[in-house]
Amino acid sequence: MVNKVLGFLTVIFTAILFLAVGSLTAADVPDSVTMDSKIYPKHTKGLCTFSHKKHADHKDIGCADCHHVYTDGKNTWKEGDEVQKCEACHSEPAKPKGDKTKMSKAEKIKKYHKDALHANCKGCHKKMIDKTSELGKKIKKCTGCHPKKAK
């Protein structure tokens, strides 16, 4: 009888532990994210806000599709790893006009913040949506993601 009670209490305790850890982990993930980088002295367009929850709940999107740490050309980031701000690696605000450097496309994307965000966000959306859909039409214009700034 004592073994049955101890077994039952162990199961209940384990379930409570999993629920507590799961709720603490979920509490760290915001419902939405506003892309507000401090590397820009002034934002020329409205700030993009997207639903982190909608992206995280989407059946075809994994965390590592957006969150990444590249080691030897492979994304080694895994769920539970620290999430850094984009500018930790993508450190230049925008490609300077007339940039004639001999960097590869991958090096430019790593260096330039705007190019990296556009490549990741727009690239994924272009693959996943029908270009004639409402979302497909929205990403063709800057104002589809960047709201007009209040004057």
Output the DSSP codes for 45-110: SPPPEEEHHHHHH-TT--GGGTS--EETTEE---TTS----GGGT--BSSPPTT------HHHHHH
Q: With a threshold of 0.75, does the pTM exceed it?
A: no
Cα separation of 118 and 144, whole Å?
A: 13
Residue ranges of the domains in the chain? 1-30, 31-144
Look at residue 11 in the predicted model and tell me its pLDDT: 44
CATH architecture of 31-144: Alpha-Beta Complex (3.90)
pLDDT (tens digit per residue) in 60-119: 888 999 999 989 989 999 988 999 999 988 888 877 666 777 877 777 777 888 888 888
For a pLDDT cut of 90, what percent of the chain falls above it? 21
